[in-house]
Amino acid sequence: MKTALATVTLSGSLPAKLEAAAAAGFQGIEIFENDLTQFDGSPADVRRMAQDLGLEIIALQPFRDMEGMPEPYRSQKLRYIQRKFELMHELGTNRFLMCSNVSPHASSDRSQCAADLHEIAEMAAKEGLRVGYEALAWGRYIADYEDAWDLIKRADHPNLGINLDTFHMFARGNTLDCLRDEIPVDKIALVQVADAPIMQMDVLQYSRHFRCFPGQGDLPVVAFVQCLKDKGFDDYLSHEIFNDEFRSSSPKEKAVDGMRSLIWLEEQTSKKPSMPEPEIVDVEFVEFAIEGDSGEELIQLLESLGFRETHRHRSKNVSLMRQGDINLILNREPESLAHEHFQLHGVSVCALALATSDLKSMLERADRYHLQRFANQAGPGELNIPALRGIGDSLVYFVERSGKFRFFDIDFVPVGEKNADLGLARIDHIGQSVSNTDFLSASFFYKSLFDFTIEPSQDLPDIYGLVVSRTAESRNGRVRIPINMSEARQTSPQRFIQRSKGSGFQQIAFECEDIFTAVAGVVPNRVLLVPDNYYRDIEAKFALAPELLQQLKQYNVLYDRNEEGGEFFHFYTVETHGVFFEVVQRKGGYNRYGEANAHIRFAAQARQNALQDALEES
C-alpha cells in the first residue's frame, strides 16, 4: 500500500507540513482546507511545492453538511461544491472528501440524502473527479460506516465511494463485518488510519484531542488493515490525526512517527515479516554524563549504595562502577556524545545500553524505522558500540551479548579490589520522565523497534497534579521502562524536565537480595524520608506484624502486597541533579512497581525539593 498524511496531523505552516511529510518518506498528502485557506500563495503554488517534493496531493478535505439540506441551503451547498471542484483542478487532485451531515437542518430521509449524493457525484463525474463519503462518529443521522455504505448503495453512482476512517468506525464500536462482507475494493475512495486510547467521553471531544498514530492507542487498527489486505486493497493508507500534542510538536518528528506507525502496521499484517523480530535480553549499562567535579554528589550517592569504581576505559576518561550485574558508566570524556549531552542537560543519564543476541538484525530494523544512528570514536582493539537517538537527547546503545566476554572485558581495565557491596543484583526498571509531546512517541519507540509490550496508561496522584504513567516491557521481562508524563508544572516529572531541560531518565531501580541489609548500609540522610502516617495506613491495610512494621518504619522502606500474597519492599534515595535511585525486593511473584505508594514518593520528593530550595535561598 501507499503512504499518505493529512496536513491537519502536523503543526506549522503548509510548506513546513509538506516538507516534513516528504522528508519522512510519505508518497501522498491530503490538503486540509484550513491549511489551504491560511496559506498566502495560490493553489497552483501548493501543487508545485508538492510536485517538487515528490508528493501526490491525494485529496482536498473535509466538506461538511452537504446531503439532506433544505432550500436555500441546498442550492448554496451545490454552488459551493462547484467552486471547490475548480480549486481541486488547480491543486491537481481528484478526490473530494465529504463528511456526514451534523447540521440541525439535516434531513433523516435517506432517499433525499441518497439523491443529493448522486447529484454531487454526477457533478464530480463531469469534472473527472471522485467523491468519498464518510460517516462522522457524531453525525446527526449517519454516524456509522454501515449507514454511510447504505446511502452510497442507494445513490448508486460510479464516481461515489466510501471513505473509511478507523477512528470514526471504532469510536462507536463498529465491527469489520460490513467491510469484510459487503464493501468491494473499488468502492473504497480513501482510507484514513488513526488510533486512540480507550476512553469514555463525548465522541467529538475524543476525536478532536485524543487521536494518535496506529500502535500508540488501543483500537483494533491492525485487524482493519489486515481486512483491507485480504480484500486486495493496495491504494493509500493516510493519517488524519487530531491531537493536542501533535499540534505543539515538531512537524518533522511527528511525520517520522507517522511513517514508523505505517511501517509497524505493515509488519503486523505481513504473513512473512520482512525483518526478524528484535530480541532484547537485558540492560547492559547505564551511562551518566558528568564533567570535572560536577558529578561528585552523584558518585557519593552511588558509593553509599555500595557501588565502587571497578574499571577504567583503556583510552578515554570514562570509568565503570559495578555491583552484581549492574554496570554504571561515568563519562567525563571531553570529545564525546556524553559531553554534548552534559552541555545541554548537565549531570544526567545520557545513554542506555541494551543487550541483544543479534546486533546486525537490530541495526537493520532500526534503519527500516528511520532511526538516526551515531558512532563513537573507538581506539585500536576497542568496541565500536553502535547507538541510536532515543527519546529526547538520550542515546540507546546496542551490545551483542554472546560468548564469555562482556563489553568491559575488552574496553576497560580493572582497577583495585572488589569491595563489599549491599547485595544489589541487577537493574529492575528505569523510569523515564517525558514531555507531553514525547509521551506517545516514547511508548511507540519501544513498541515498534523492540517489540516491547506497552501497558495501558494509569493516573498517579502527585500533590501538584496527576502523573500519567505507562510501562514498556521486553518480552522476557528483563527490561522494564515506566514512562511518566504530567502537564502540571510542579509535579515530579515536570520538575525534572525543567531542571534537565528536556525528557530523560529520572529513576533507576535496583533489585536486591535483602532490602533491610541493603538499606542498613546506606547513609540515613541519603534515604528519602517517609511520614509516620504511611506506616499507620499500611498496618491497618495489611495487618503487618509489629516487628516488620518497625523495621519498615526505622529504615523508611515502603511496602505493597498483591492479592496472591506476593510482596514488594522498596526505598528511594534523595534526588541529585534531578535523578534518584530505588532499591526493590520482590517476593512471591510480585510483578508490579508499588504504584500504590507513588503518591507517598511524590509528596516526599516535593518536601525534599522545598527544603533544598529554602537552603539555597538562605
Helices (H) and strands (E) in the chain, counts: 22, 26
Model confidence at 544: pLDDT above 90: yes
Which residues make Cβ contacts (< 8 Å) with residue 614, sequence separation at least 6? none
- Give yes or no for a contact between 583 and 326, defined as CB atoms under 8 angstroms apart: no
**DSSP of 541-605, one letter per residue?**
HH---HHHHHHHHHHT-EEEE-TTS-EEEEEEBPPBTTBEEEEEEEETT--S--GGGHHHHHHHH
pLDDT at 270: 86
DSSP 390: -
Residues making up the chain, counted from first to last: 618
pLDDT at 401: 80
DSSP 151: H
Alpha helices of 524-586 — where are they, by DSSP H?
Answer: 532-542, 546-555
- Residue 282 CA to residue 481 CA, distance in Å, equals 12
- Give yes or no for a contact between 88 and 132, defined as CB atoms under 8 angstroms apart: no
Model confidence at 613: pLDDT above 90: no
Could you give phi then psi for residue 479, rounded to 5 degrees? -115, 120
- Residue 579 CA to residue 298 CA, distance in Å, equals 9
Over residues 159-172, mean pLDDT: 96
Model pTM greater than 0.85? yes
Over residues 467-474, mean pLDDT: 96
Tens-digit pLDDT profile for residues 378-436: 655 567 889 999 998 999 999 988 767 888 888 899 997 666 789 999 999 999 999 99
What is the distance, to the nearest Å, from the Cα of residue 546 to the centroid of all Cα atoms in its chain?
Answer: 44
Q: Nearest-5° angle of CA 137, CA 142, CA 147?
A: 105
Q: What is the mean pLDDT of the chain?
A: 93
pLDDT at 499: 93
- Give yes or no for a contact between 100 and 148, defined as CB atoms under 8 angstroms apart: yes
- Residue 133 CA to residue 87 CA, distance in Å, equals 19
Domains along the chain with CATH numbers: 2-268 (3.20.20.150), 280-414 (3.10.180.10), 429-616 (3.10.180.10)
- Give yes or no for a contact between 282 and 322, defined as CB atoms under 8 angstroms apart: no
DSSP H or E stretch at residue 430 = strand 424-433
DSSP 533: H
Tens-digit pLDDT profile for residues 221-253: 999 999 999 999 999 999 999 998 888 889 999
Any known ligand binding at 616? no
**How many other CB atoms sit within 10 Å of the CB of residue 126?**
10
Task: Indicate the residue type of 145.
Answer: Y
Any known ligand binding at 291? no
pLDDT at 316: 92
Q: Nearest-5° angle of CA 596, CA 598, CA 600?
A: 100
- Residue 618 CA to residue 315 CA, distance in Å, equals 43
Task: Indicate the residue type of 272.
Answer: K
Handedness of CA 21, 22, 27, 28 (dihedral sign): positive
- Residue 515 CA to residue 571 CA, distance in Å, equals 8
Q: Residue-wise over 190-203: b if at least 16 C-beta within 10 A, else e? A: bbbbbbbbeeeeeb
157: confidence class by pLDDT, cuts 50, 70, 90: very high
pLDDT at 200: 82
pLDDT at 560: 97
Report the DSSP beta bridge partners of residue 163: 190
pLDDT at 292: 85
- Residue 227 CA to residue 212 CA, distance in Å, equals 21
- Residue 556 CA to residue 570 CA, distance in Å, equals 9
What is the distance, to the nearest Å, from the Cα of residue 190 to the centroid of all Cα atoms in its chain?
Answer: 26
Any known ligand binding at 309? no
C-alpha cell at 454: 506497552
Tens-digit pLDDT profile for residues 65-105: 999 999 999 999 999 999 999 999 999 999 999 999 999 99
275: confidence class by pLDDT, cuts 50, 70, 90: low
- Give yes or no for a contact between 177 and 144, defined as CB atoms under 8 angstroms apart: no
DSSP 418: P
Over residues 250-265, mean pLDDT: 94
372: confidence class by pLDDT, cuts 50, 70, 90: confident
DSSP H or E stretch at residue 528 = none
Any known ligand binding at 165? yes
- Residue 224 CA to residue 174 CA, distance in Å, equals 11
